[in-house]
Amino acid sequence: MEKKTYRNMFAQAGIPEEKIRKRLEEVKYTFFYDPEKKVYFPVGDDMAYICDTGNNDARTEGMSYGMMMCVQLDMKEEFDRIWKWAKTYMWMSEGENEGYFAWSCATDGSKNAYGPAPDGEEFFAMALFFASHRWGDGEGIFAYSTEAKEILRACLHKGQNGRPGTPMWNLDNHQILFVPGIDFTDPSYHLPHFYELFALWAYEEDRAFWKEAARASREYLAVACHPETGFSAEYAEFDGSPMSRPLPWTTDRHDWFFSDAYRTAANIGLDYEWFGVDLGQRAAADRIQKFLLANLHSGEYHIWETDGRIAQTGVLHPLGIPATVAQASLAAKEPQAMEWVKAFFEMPMRDGVRRYYDNCLYVFAYLALSGNYRIW
């Protein structure tokens, strides 16, 4: 690929470069090493896990996020530790989900579940490709590029040629599934900027699929984000409408703008920064920033219906919303984007038991807005 220049929106907002660099080091220390606030925990001589402190477990979401952060920050030892823990305890070598990763494990490595969550697999694969290109392939599980390609092969080819299980993507409409075999999706799982790169680096037989998936996901995000608020639902139908059908494993709602859904605007921002392709999805960045501008100033966030009605006052992840909406500035056209960027820079990371998810989103937003979330 051609060498790319990445925008530093903090610098564009007038923040001095030295202050930006110093804050990046503080963010890294807080997430990985601060005794009171870290979520990264080494195990023995060569493994580590990222802890979801609100649920006291390790999830493929957080493990793969941690690997992506490490490759962006040039932290090879920490990357390898997280990857070895994931491959040792989370990866499934047999059964219906052979080739996938158990989405949740206890911190001792025992599996809490034997099903996967596809956002983990796509982040694992992308982080591994970047590690291969930044540091070079090693041996065994550290042959990063081979590991990435095998993950993607499983995602598309389960159920074929005698292989058990079902794919993580709908092979007809090219949309990622909430879980394998289900008939709906999660808008925040749609990462067209990853699929563009999978189309270059996956096994050759799958590259055309990934190229089409990038197009399909951008078109999907354009309709999954509400035309006035820019909000997406946590779970959504293949046509983009919120998924409100009853589910056998939960009575919780997932058809509103809540935890998972915060990531959608951030993903739109990073995709546009990396590839500059707009199939209608970019407008959601301006809509969500405009709709929530008063909340940015007040600091009050809620659980909203996708049309903007307040469903419940208060919110579980109050930092996750401004972090992801600030990251959407990478795709925004309107002047209020800089208000979000400046305000986000002044926000402290979260402490306390619920710090994990908010701080994951915070780190990604800081990397992206400082020009440090890059294609490797």
Residues 112 and 220 in one domain: no
Q: pTM above the 0.95 mark? A: yes
- Angle 126-356-105 from CA coordinates, rounded to 5°: 70
pLDDT in tens, the chain (376 residues): 668 999 999 999 999 999 999 999 999 999 999 999 999 999 999 999 999 999 999 999 999 999 999 999 999 999 999 999 999 999 999 999 999 999 999 999 999 999 999 999 999 999 999 999 999 999 999 999 999 999 999 999 999 988 899 999 999 999 999 999 999 999 999 999 999 999 999 999 999 999 999 999 999 999 999 999 999 999 999 999 999 999 999 999 999 999 999 999 999 999 999 999 999 999 999 999 999 999 999 999 999 999 999 999 999 999 999 999 999 999 999 999 999 999 999 999 999 999 999 999 999 999 999 999 999 9
For position 93, what pLDDT does the model report?
96
CA separation for the pair 161, 264 (Å, rounded) = 35
Domain count, the chain: 2
Catalytic residue, chosen from 147, 255, 260, 286, is: 260
For position 46, what pLDDT does the model report?
98
In a domain, 251, yes or no: yes
In a domain, 133, yes or no: yes
Residues 78 and 184 in one domain: no
Residues 100 and 207 in one domain: no
In a domain, 311, yes or no: yes
In a domain, 116, yes or no: yes
Instruction: Check if 25 is active-site.
Output: no
Q: What is the DSSP string of 228-281?
A: TT----SSB-TTSSB--S-BTTB-S--SSB-GGGHHHHHHHHHHHHHH---SST
109: left (phi over 0), alpha (psi -120 to 50) or beta: left
Q: What is the DSSP string of 177-188?
A: PSSTT-S-B-GG
| Domain encompassing residue 269 | 174-376
In a domain, 22, yes or no: no
Last residue of a domain, one of 107, 138, 168: 168
Q: What is the DSSP string of 48-114?
A: EEE-BTTTTBEEHHHHHHHHHHHHHTT-HHHHHHHHHHIIIIIB--SSTTTTSB-SEE-TTS-BS-S
Last residue of a domain, one of 134, 168, 202: 168
Residues 115 and 202 in one domain: no
In a domain, 227, yes or no: yes
Q: Which two tokens stand for residue 315?
A: 């919110």
Last residue of a domain, one of 168, 188, 222: 168
Q: How many CB atoms lie within 10 A of CB 115?
A: 17
In a domain, 239, yes or no: yes
For position 162, what pLDDT does the model report?
84
Catalytic residue, chosen from 52, 61, 219, 271, is: 61
In a domain, 299, yes or no: yes
CA separation for the pair 113, 216 (Å, rounded) = 30
Residues 53 and 195 in one domain: no
Residues 164 and 200 in one domain: no
Instruction: Check if 358 is active-site.
Output: no
Residues 279 and 146 in one domain: no
